[in-house]
Structure 1
Amino acid sequence: MKNTNSSPTHTGLTIECVLPDSIAAELEIKAGDRLLAISGKPVRDIIDYTYLSTETELTLEIVKMNGEEWEMAVERGEGEPLGLILPTPVPKRCGNTCVFCFVHQLPRGMRSPLYVKDEDYRLSFLYGNYVTLANITSSDLARIKEQRLSPLYVSVHATETAVRETLLGNTAIKPLLPIMEELASAGISMHTQVVLCPGLNDGAVLERTVADMVALHPRVASLAVVPVGLTRHRKGLPLIEPVTSAYADEFITHWQARALDIADRLGEPFLYLADEFYIKAGREFPPLETYGDLPQLENGVGMVPLFLEEGKEVLAAAESSSPLTVTVVTGESAYSCLSLFLVELGKITGVTFRTIAVANRLFGESVTVAGLVAGRDILAALADLDLGDLVLIPDVMIKEGEGVFLDDLTIDELEESLQVRTVVVESTPAGIYGALAGR
């Protein structure tokens, strides 16, 4: 170990936590120290840390909180973690002004992080965030290829440059296909999406986009088409036609058959239509097996078919329970699927379920997904109702780890207002059934 006087300023990352009994703890590294480099390579973010710390013999350069610079040689067993917890990268801001951007459609008065638009390939790799690659640089591409940052999640929207520029509200972007071709040639896998705006990127434009993505298979592993989400707060924004029930029905008729043809040609599912199309059209969902390994689940693709399949398993294993009256809250789009499951679960368990679809007053009636339901809208929907013994709130309505809704109402404040025990549950059949026994 070498101690030297540090320079006045340091780069690197501030260490948030050191795991007990870890290598870092034995080396007396502390939270608040800064990790400068590993084996001579600068550490810019947690991705560098993960990439550079794979060797069994390492040299760590640390700046202590008192300004001392330590250099430490480390030998460890294969796969033995160093024990450092580092911060999430600060997201790069998005420079696009997409005509369908949900951030631009938010009402005033919500918590400030909701108004931040990020566009960062690092968060795409780490967390599956979708990015347009509009701000990607040559050095970014070089890093992605060198560190094998795969898979990435890419918002394609349209491969025709002029249409894409219109959708992104940005004429200073490079053509997307050459970038994706470069990544594909380097072995980088990508999952892609199209936010469908009727009259803008459907029809022949979508046909070309799908063909371009198919041509990049298998490096482009999946393509999801999701309908544009429009709130009632679009003042001053370009006019976008909504996806109506009739449009969704016609869209499914054409593209579900195309998706099956493409899957036959490629030997695996590739093109996926978001659940919302089927809900809007009132159409039956395709079998769960047509969704492959559910690569677009977090994008609202396959959630309902998965729920239905898991519901069958839960019902087969369910047992009689203590008599309870339970109110289950959901969004309007999930109401039909959820209520049918709860009717059957009630027959087996003896529990009386009441399913409440919450109308979205915050964003407008066209926004029907459970994940965008606000706490005060729940209060309005449940006012003056006999809620029984227990209220169940799906976890998708709550910010993870913080217990707050989109409008900053907390789950504790909701429970206090309702005067009924209120529990956040996993948004699955097993999560609901488990809540009956306090599991």
Structure 2
Amino acid sequence: MIEILSVDPGSIGAELDLEPGDCLLSINGEVVRDLLDFQLQLSEEELLLEVRKKEGELWDIELEKDAGAPMGLHFEHPEPKQCGNNCIFCFVHQLPSGMRSTLYVKDEDFRFSFLYGSYITLTNLDEADIQRIIDQHLSPLYVSVHATNDQLRSRLLGVEGPPILDLLRRLTAAGIEVHTQIVLCPGLNDGEELERTVEDLQALHPGVISLAVVPLGLTGYRQRLPTLESVSPEIARSVLEVLERYQEQLLDRCGTRFVFAADEFYLKAGIDFPPIEAYEDLGQLENGVGMVPLFRSDAAEALAEARSLESPEFSTITGESSLQELEKFCVALSKKTGVIIHLHPVRNEFFGGQVTVTGLLTGRDVAAQLRDKPLGEVLLVPDVMLKDGEDVFLDDLSLNDLEAELGVRVEKVESSPWGLLEALERHAR
């Protein structure tokens, strides 16, 4: 059962006289264990709810509604199952102290993989979990494979898990679709092992929908951790050669390129990106695959729509890896609109200088490095730098704190060309 925390006024739940403190026991005879069970049942049009009122009375409620229509009921979010792996490249193990506690949580929960697209290794599943995935058809799932050589995979994960191919075969045979990823660690799962993993996973297509290859991330805080090699330009080029060869073969054989490289490989290798069409449905976008080509496509469309504006001077910020693309767009947007835009790259000192993505910048690094820079009247902060639903950075510095430190108006904007253009238009005089 799950307890109702709040009920939206005027909602279906309110019309049924449901209240905070009531407990939902079952839907259509199926026990409701957590939020996932509840959300899956919302797809039904006819529902029989078994409810225990907060006073203890049992109610049976029959209703008809549109499939998927919200009921206005809110429940406590389930705590994620914790990851028991000890991955040699784990980013959480490389975090400095002083960040909010939730950033040190390692989750490994198939429910979150289905609901939010988070990657899991499948190492902590028991038979009941596997059967629940199959029975409730929790598809697609997002699985970190890293290597199909089980001995090597165990070394990478720091634990011995079930044979990954056997588990993937069982899930895909049951109709579960899976997106997969490899965190590439030079000298370990590249070269022949990378080719082996690509071949093994593509053999499970279409059940295995796609494979993303992303480089490991190293910070300056790897105390008492295995020594790992970062992805060099030479390694990046060799990885791209392998993946592009497979893409060509698989497109001809399967009708899909199947395997995709994270943008960082192209940036490190100094090789230009494929056209956005080569990323097909951008199914691995949240994994950093195709973000630059999508940015370029959106930038071209935004610039085509931009017009001359009378607006104040603006400034915005970016991580080092995005500087070149954003700089081109800001120059072109400034020329098209006549608005002065100051773009400031921020070095990630908090993580030791090796992490270059915008989304992992901290408020204190931004404040320290922008203190003497020209900021105009408004500083535009990309929303990718902030916690979902809150205006705080990774280190809990808020936008209001940043505004006070820099003495300039600070606004959150969507992390896209459209976000910048809309901000300029919003302030047009």
Instruction: Give TM-score scaled by structure 1 length.
Output: 0.94
Aligned amino acid, residue 64 of structure 1: K
Q: What is the aligned partner in structure 2 of residue 175 from structure 1?
A: 163
Which of 93, 96, 110 is residue 82 of structure 2 equivalent to? Answer: 93
The partner residue of 1:246 within 209, 220, 234 is: 234
CA distance in 2, matches of 1:384, 1:56: 60
* Change beyond 3 A, Cα 1:427–1:55: closer
Q: Residue 126 of structure 2: which of 116, 127, 137 is its match?
A: 137
- 2:419 aligned with 1:405: no
Cα shift readout 1:77-133 (whole Å, capped 9, x = no counterpart):
342443322232210000000000010000011111111100000000000000000
Match of 2:255 in 1: 267
Q: Name 2:420's counterpart in structure 1.
A: 432
Counterpart pick for 1:229 among 217, 233, 237:
217
2:58 is the counterpart of 1:32: no
Deviation of the 1:34 alpha carbon? 1.7
1:396 aligns with 2:403: no
Partner of 1:3: none
> What are the equivalent positions in structure 2 for 1:379-394 lying under 5 Å apart?
379-394=367-382
Q: Distance in 2 between matches of 1:296 and 1:83?
A: 32
Is the counterpart of residue 415 in structure 1 residue 403 in structure 2? yes
Aligned partner letter, 1:274: A
* CA-atom RMSD in angstroms: 1.4
* Alignment pair present for 1:358 and 2:346: yes
| C-alpha separation in 2, matches of 1:81 and 1:391 | 38
Letter matched to residue 158 of structure 2: G
**Are 2:172 and 1:184 aligned?**
yes
Deviates more, 1:209-218 or 1:315-324: 315-324
Q: How many Å apart are 1:299 and its aligned residue?
A: 0.4
Once residues 379 and 56 of structure 1 are traced to their aligned partners in structure 2, the CA distance between those partners, rounded to angstroms, is: 52
The aligned residue for residue 313 of structure 1 is: 301
Quick check: 108-117 or 120-129, which moved more? 108-117
- Residue 323 (structure 1) shift: 4.3
Could you say what secondary structure the match of 2:344 adopts? Answer: strand
> 145, 157, 160: which one pairs with 2:149?
160
State the Cα distance separating 1:24 from its structure 2 match: 1.8
Checking the alignment, whether the CA contact within 8 Å between 1:61 and 1:69 is kept in structure 2 is: no
Q: Residue by residue, what CA displacement relative to the aligned partner does 1:18-77 show, whole Å, maximum 9, x if unpaired?
A: 2322332122111232212123321111221123344444332222333x1322231213
Choose 84-93 or 418-427, whichever is displaced more.
84-93
- State whether residues 247 and 257 of structure 2, in contact with CA within 8 Å, keep that contact through their aligned partners in structure 1: yes
Amino acid at match of 1:399: K
8 Å CA contact 1:158–1:194 kept in 2: the answer is yes
d(CA) in 1 for partners of 2:88, 2:261: 21
The residue type equivalent to 1:44 in the other structure is R
Contact persistence 2:179–2:210 (CA under 8 A): yes
2:366 is aligned with what amino acid?
A: I
Q: Are the aligned partners of 1:59 and 1:71 in contact in 2 as well (CA < 8 Å)?
A: no
The Cα offsets for residues 151-207 of structure 1, whole Å up to 9 and x where unpaired, read as 000000001110000000002x11111110001001111100000000111111111
Deviations 1:343-381 (A, max 9, x none): 111111001122111100011222000010000010121
Unaligned runs of 5+ in 2: none
Matched AA of 2:59? E
Decide whether the 8 Å contact of 2:348 with 2:355 is kept in 1.
yes
Go from structure 1 to structure 2 and tell me whether the alpha carbon gap of 1:82 and 1:388 turns closer, same or farther (over 3 Å shift). Answer: closer
- Report the number of matched residues: 426
Aligned to 2:285: 297
- For residues 25 and 220 of structure 2, the distance between their equivalents in structure 1, rounded to whole angstroms, comes to 48
Instruction: Choose the corresponding residue for 1:213, options 201, 213, 226.
Output: 201
**Cα deviation digits, residues 288-321 of structure 1 (max 9, x gap):** 0000110000000000000001100011110011
SS in 2 for 1:333: helix
Q: State the alpha-carbon separation in 1 of the partners of residues 252 and 380 from structure 2.
A: 42
SS at match of 2:236: helix
Q: Percent identity?
A: 51
Moved more, 266-275 or 70-79: 70-79
SS at match of 1:35: strand
1:72 corresponds to which residue?
Answer: 60
Structure 1 residue 383: deviation in Å? 1.6
Cα–Cα, structure 1 residues 331 and 149, in superposed 2: closer, same or farther, change >3 Å?
same
Post-superposition Cα deviations, 1:377-409, rounded to whole Å, max 9, x if no partner, equal 101210211211211111110001111101110
- 1:21 corresponds to: 10
CA contact (8 A) 2:246 2:257 kept: no
The residue type paired with residue 88 of structure 1 is H
- Asked if the contact 2:348–2:361 (Cα under 8 Å) also holds between the matched residues in 1, the reply is yes
